[in-house]
Structure 1
Amino acid sequence: MAPVAGDAAYFKRGSLFWFAVITVSIGYYTWVVLWPENIPFKSLGPLGSFTQYLLNHHHTLLHNGFWLAWMVHVGESLYAMVLCKYKGITDSQAQLLWFLQTFFFGIASLSILIAYRPQHQKHT
């Protein structure tokens, strides 16, 4: 069965709540890994103390985890393109939106695409 024409351009924006949580989290993680000298540890209370501990005792793990997280996001984005093709989303703008949204927000975006069930035309 072929997908209905409207499915070709399917795109759904993810939850603003999760996008905000992910943006703040990855932003903080980026700050910790790339500019740790600029972090006001004392001003951040327990989060600052925990961050300072991680930097002092697990710097390599933090650094490698940061780059691994971005590689996972790249992989998720590429998988989103495979899913678009599989689910009949052929519109290039919709595909680009899925790629970018999944790259920046990972599973919060990809889960929407995974759950999407395209409508199919009935052949009579």
Structure 2
Amino acid sequence: MGTAAGEAAYFQRGSLFWFTVIALSMGYYTWVVFWPQSIPYQSLGPLGPLTQYLVDHHHTLMRKGYWLAWLIHVGESLYAMVLCKYKGISNGRAQLLWFIQTFLFGIASLSILIAYRPKRQKQT
């Protein structure tokens, strides 16, 4: 009985490594899209010239890509809610945590939920 309650509230935080990589990448992407004039391109090593080229030649595409990335995260978050229901995660707090974590970190979170295999109770 305790197992079913535990499964209803299942939540697992994702990898700190991937969350750091994603947070830094999305932070940099945000900076490039909204404040490209403030980026110290010459101080970024090989990333500097690449970023400068993208800003100078493809800024509109980058802006659209930025919003597309967030739209994909919204879709992943909504799918996480479907998976919660399908996998028996009915605790509201656990569902909210999955939604927020997946919105912020995308597939790094969603892959954990996809891999989760709840124990199915045998019907007698």
TM score, norm. by length of structure 2: 0.95
Q: Does 1:119 align with 2:123?
A: no
Q: Mapping of 1:19-58 within 5 angstroms?
A: 19-58=19-58
Query: Aligned partners of 1:4 and 1:93: how far apart in 2?
Result: 16
Cα distance in structure 2, aligned partners of 1:23 and 1:85? 28
Shift of 1:123: 2.5
**Alignment partners' CA distance in 2, 1:77 and 1:36:** 29
Amino acid at match of 2:121: Q
Specify every segment of 5 or more residues in structure 2 that has no aligned partner in the other structure, as ranges. none
TM-score, length-scaled by structure 1:
0.95
Q: Cα offset for 1:46?
A: 1.4
The yes-or-no answer on 1:62 pairing with 2:62 is yes
Offset, 1:112 = 0.4
Greater relative contact order, per chain length (Cα 8 Å cut-off, separation 6+): 1
Q: Confirm whether residue 107 of structure 1 aligns to residue 107 of structure 2.
A: yes
Q: Which residue of 2 aligns with 1:82?
A: 82
RMSD: 1.1
Per-residue CA deviation, residues 34-89 of structure 1 (Å, 9 max, x unaligned), is: 11111011111211111000011111110100000000000000000010011100
